[in-house]
Amino acid sequence: MMLCPLFSGSSGNAVYVGTQKTGLLIDAGLSGIVIERALQAQGLDPARLDGILITHEHIDHIKGAGVLSRRHDIPVYANEKT
């Protein structure tokens, strides 16, 4: 299993969690292009993400979720209150 904190802080949060078969992005709090570049810098292909899990609705956790979801056809998961 790979756990890769990409960003953490008030300017944005994003963590990649994955195995050889499955990859998830937990939160997407920066722009889509910034997150794509961070994933690529770790040798990860953003188009191979299986999902984006949103922990809560603050902008520093959701900013790039829509762009990444649309650009790469990635499902977004959140609870009903988010």
Residue 38 contacts residue 47 (beta carbons within 8 Å): no
**Residue 46 vs residues 1, 7, 42, 58, 80: alpha-carbon distances, Å:** 17, 15, 11, 22, 25
The pLDDT assigned to 52 comes to 99
Does residue 82 lie within any of the structural domains?
A: no
Whole domain around residue 51: which residue ranges?
Answer: 2-9+25-77
Does residue 49 lie within any of the structural domains?
A: yes
The pLDDT assigned to 36 comes to 99
Does residue 34 lie within any of the structural domains?
A: yes
Total count of domains within the chain: 1
Does residue 19 lie within any of the structural domains?
A: no
**Cα separation of 36 and 24, whole Å?**
13
Give average pLDDT by consecutive 10-residue segment, the chain, 82 residues: 96 97 98 98 98 97 98 96 78
